[in-house]
Amino acid sequence: MGRKIVIAGNWKMNKTRPDAEKLIKELVPYAEKATCETVICVPYTNLETAVEITKGTKIKVGAENCHFKSSGAFTGEISAEMLKEIGVEYVVIGHSERRQYFNETDLTVNRRTKAALKVGLKPIICVGELLAEREDGITEDVVELQTVAAYTGLTADDVKNTIIAYEPVWAIGTGKTATDEQAEEVCAFIRKIIANKYGSEIADGLTVQYGGSMNPKNAAGLLAKENIDGGLIGGASLKAEDFAVLLQAGGAGNAC
Residues classed as catalytic: 95, 167
Q: Is 172 in the site for ligand PGA (CB under 6 A)?
A: yes
Shortest Å, Cβ 214 to ligand PGA: 6
Residue 126 CB, shortest distance to ligand PGA, in Å, is: 7
Task: Work out how close the CB of 173 gets to ligand PGA at its nearest, in angstroms, rounded to a whole number.
Answer: 4
> Applying CB under 6 A, which of residues 128, 234, 250, 253 lies at the interface with ligand PGA?
234
- Count of residues interacting with ligand PGA (CB under 6 A): 13
* Segment near ligand PGA (CB under 6 A); pick from 129-137, 140-148, 201-209, 227-235: 227-235
29 binds ligand PGA (CB under 6 A): no
Query: Which of 160, 256, 250, 150 is CA-nearest to residue 210?
Result: 250
Does 167 participate in binding ligand PGA (rule CB under 6 A)? yes
CA dihedral 116, 128, 95, 8 (to 10 degrees): -80
Say what angle helices 139-150 and 180-198 make with each other, to 10 degrees: 40
**Contact between 211 and 6 (Cβ < 8 Å):** no
- Tell me the window of 15-23, 70-78, 138-146, 207-215 that interacts with ligand PGA (CB under 6 A): 207-215
Contact segment (CB under 6 A) with ligand PGA among 106-114, 186-194, 219-227, 233-241 equals 233-241
**Of 147, 145, 84, whose CA–CA distance to 115 is shortest?**
84
Work out whether 232 is an interface residue with ligand PGA (CB under 6 A). Answer: yes
Q: Could you write out the DSSP letters of every residue in 92-110?
A: EES-HHHHHHS---HHHHH
Residue 146 binds ligand PGA (CB under 6 A): no
Q: Which is nearer to ligand PGA, 172 or 198 (CB)?
A: 172
Part of the chain binding ligand PGA (CB under 6 A), chosen from 30-38, 48-56, 184-192, 205-213: 205-213
Long-range contacts of 150-157 (CB under 8 A, 24+ apart): 150/93, 150/94, 150/106, 150/109, 150/110, 150/113, 150/125, 151/110, 151/113, 151/125, 151/194, 151/197, 152/110, 153/110, 153/114, 154/113, 154/114, 154/117, 156/198, 156/199, 156/202
Q: Give me the residue whose beta carbon is nearest to ligand PGA.
A: 234
Q: Which residues contribute to the site for ligand PGA (CB under 6 A)?
A: 10, 167, 172-173, 211-214, 232-236
